[in-house]
């Protein structure tokens, strides 16, 4: 049994498999072809923070694959009344086949997984958001590494430059792990006080990222420019301080112009136009944010298939 708690839980060749499966599963979905390998399987989704994309993509994806879902939040379950996470894991995992959790500290999902009889997927913690990066990488491959017949070339990520502009948060940490495993470089620029921490990110190879004081320098010649909200969920008390600290870390057309001419723009969403990104960029021709959001569902279907049924195809 495997869990998917961090990006580094899988190897490069497993990602190559997942990207191929995601492409195939997406093709079937677009052709209205029924694909229900998870009939009679149940996914429990536990949300301790808000969500639109993660909930809809997992829920719709599981139903499309023939399974069903149970949706729990802290407020409407005993987890919000101090039942230990270990006990919740023991009970829930006796009744369902797979669990997705969105929570605060990463240690919490680790404690759940350690007591779970079934695979556990990280739907976002304070430190990591692996399902999002899975979707982002698949979106990049679709745009730059797939031929007319839909053949996936995961190697197209090798040697690429991804510019990360903004907070050294869960998304940034996960980009670093992906760079280390898949062989690209992240150019990171954060305001001072909001830097990435390679120890928290859990990376060993410092060659997979470069730090830039000026966000414009990070964007220079990048293949992909990406950012995220200035204030992540759980940090709302810092909103005002962050708003002034991050004022120069807004992705705008001038920054995009420094990247490669065919550079893509991504944002995991939800976005705040006029804060971390201008409307011109997120709604402009280089932005692939809607494909990126849709692809959450396709890659997570491939992920659930892999965790529950192993290698198919
Ligand atoms: N990107 C993402 O995880 O979105 P939600 O918070 O809406 O799930
Ligand atoms: N970094 C953001 C991502 C939201 C999908 C957060 O944690 O709130």
The 3-class secondary structure across 191-230, one letter per residue, is CCCCCCCHHHHCCCCHHHEEECCCHHHHHCCCCEEEECCC
Question: Which residue from 100, 268, 290 has its CB within 8 A of the most atoms of ligand 1, so it is best to mutate?
Answer: 268
Whether 123 and 147 have beta carbons less than 8 Å apart is answered as no
Q: Which atom of ligand 2 is nearest to the CA of 167?
A: 1
Ligand nearest to C-alpha 168:
2
Residue 24 to residue 26: CA distance in whole angstroms: 5
268 is catalytic: yes
**Domain 7-129+293-309 part of CATH 3.30.70.100:** no
pLDDT, position 157: 96
pLDDT, position 134: 98
Whether 182 and 224 have beta carbons less than 8 Å apart is answered as no
pLDDT, position 313: 81
Residue 196 to residue 70: CA distance in whole angstroms: 35
pLDDT, position 148: 80
Whether 229 and 276 have beta carbons less than 8 Å apart is answered as yes
Instruction: Tell whether the model's pLDDT for residue 31 goes beyond 90.
Output: yes
pLDDT, position 147: 84
219 is catalytic: no
Residue 266 to residue 288: CA distance in whole angstroms: 6
Query: Does ligand 1 have an atom closer than 6 angstroms to the CB of 266?
Result: no
Residue 153 to residue 165: CA distance in whole angstroms: 27
Residue 184 to residue 176: CA distance in whole angstroms: 9
pLDDT, position 228: 98
Question: Which residue from 233, 267, 271 has its CB within 8 A of the most atoms of ligand 2, so it is best to mutate?
Answer: 233
**pTM value?**
0.98
Question: Which residue from 55, 104, 270, 292 has its CB within 8 A of the most atoms of ligand 1, so it is best to mutate?
Answer: 270
Domain(s) of CATH 3.40.50.1370: residues in the chain: 7-129+293-309, 132-292
CA of 125 to the centre of ligand 2 (A): 9
CA distances 148 to 86, 135, 160, 222, 248, Å, are 48, 20, 22, 25, 40
Record: fold of 132-292: Rossmann fold (3.40.50)
Query: Does ligand 1 have an atom closer than 6 angstroms to the CB of 232?
Result: no
CA of 173 to the centre of ligand 2 (A): 12
Among 211, 228, 68, 47, CA closest to 132: 228
CA of 151 to the centre of ligand 2 (A): 31
Within 81-184, strands assigned E span 98-102, 120-122, 161-165
Q: Give the chain's mean pLDDT.
A: 97
Instruction: Tell whether the model's pLDDT for residue 101 goes beyond 90.
Output: yes
For 192, phi then psi, to 5°, come to -70, 140
Ligand nearest to C-alpha 172:
2
pLDDT, position 116: 98
Q: Tell me the pLDDT tens digit for each residue of 136-158.
A: 999 999 999 988 888 899 999 99
CA 310 to chain centre: 21
Q: Tell me the pLDDT tens digit for each residue of 234-291.
A: 999 999 999 999 999 999 999 999 999 999 999 999 999 999 999 999 999 999 999 9
Confidence of residue 66 (pLDDT cuts 50, 70, 90): very high
Q: Tell me the pLDDT tens digit for each residue of 207-235.
A: 999 999 999 999 999 999 999 999 999 99
Ligand 2 binding pocket, CB closer than 6 Å: 124, 169-171, 228-229, 232-233, 268
Residue 57 to residue 54: CA distance in whole angstroms: 5
CA 79 to chain centre: 25
């Amino acid at each position: 049994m495997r869990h998917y708690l961090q990006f580094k839980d899988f190897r490069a060749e497993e990602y190559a498999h997942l990207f191929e499966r995601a492409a195939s599963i997406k093709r079937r979905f677009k052709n209205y072809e029924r694909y229900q390998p998870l009939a009679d399987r149940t996914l429990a989704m536990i949300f301790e923070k808000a969500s639109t994309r993660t909930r809809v993509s997992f829920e719709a994806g599981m139903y499309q694959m023939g399974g069903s879902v149970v949706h729990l939040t802290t407020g409407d379950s005993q987890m919000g009344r101090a039942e230990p996470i270990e006990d919740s894991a023991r009970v829930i995992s006796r009744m369902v086949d797979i669990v997705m959790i969105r929570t605060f500290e990463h240690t919490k999902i680790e404690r759940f997984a350690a007591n779970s009889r079934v695979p556990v997927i990280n739907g976002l913690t304070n430190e990591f958001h692996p399902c999002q990066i899975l979707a982002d990488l698949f979106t990049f491959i679709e745009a730059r590494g797939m031929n007319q017949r839909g053949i996936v070339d995961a190697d197209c990520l090798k040697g690429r430059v991804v510019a990360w502009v903004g907070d050294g948060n869960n998304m940034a940490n996960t980009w670093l792990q992906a760079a280390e495993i898949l062989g690209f470089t992240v150019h990171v620029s954060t305001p001072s006080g909001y830097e990435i921490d390679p120890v928290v990110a859990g990376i060993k190879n410092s060659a997979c990222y470069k730090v830039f004081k000026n966000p414009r320098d990070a964007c220079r010649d990048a293949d992909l420019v990406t950012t995220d909200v200035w204030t992540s969920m759980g940090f709302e008390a810092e909103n005002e301080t962050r708003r002034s600290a991050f004022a120069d870390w807004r992705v705008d057309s001038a920054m995009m112009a420094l990247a490669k001419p065919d550079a893509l723009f991504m944002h995991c969403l939800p976005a705040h136009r006029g804060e971390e990104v201008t409307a011109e960029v997120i709604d402009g021709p280089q932005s692939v944010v809607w494909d990126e959001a849709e692809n959450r569902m396709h890659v997570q279907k491939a992920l659930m298939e892999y965790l529950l049924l192993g290698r198919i195809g």
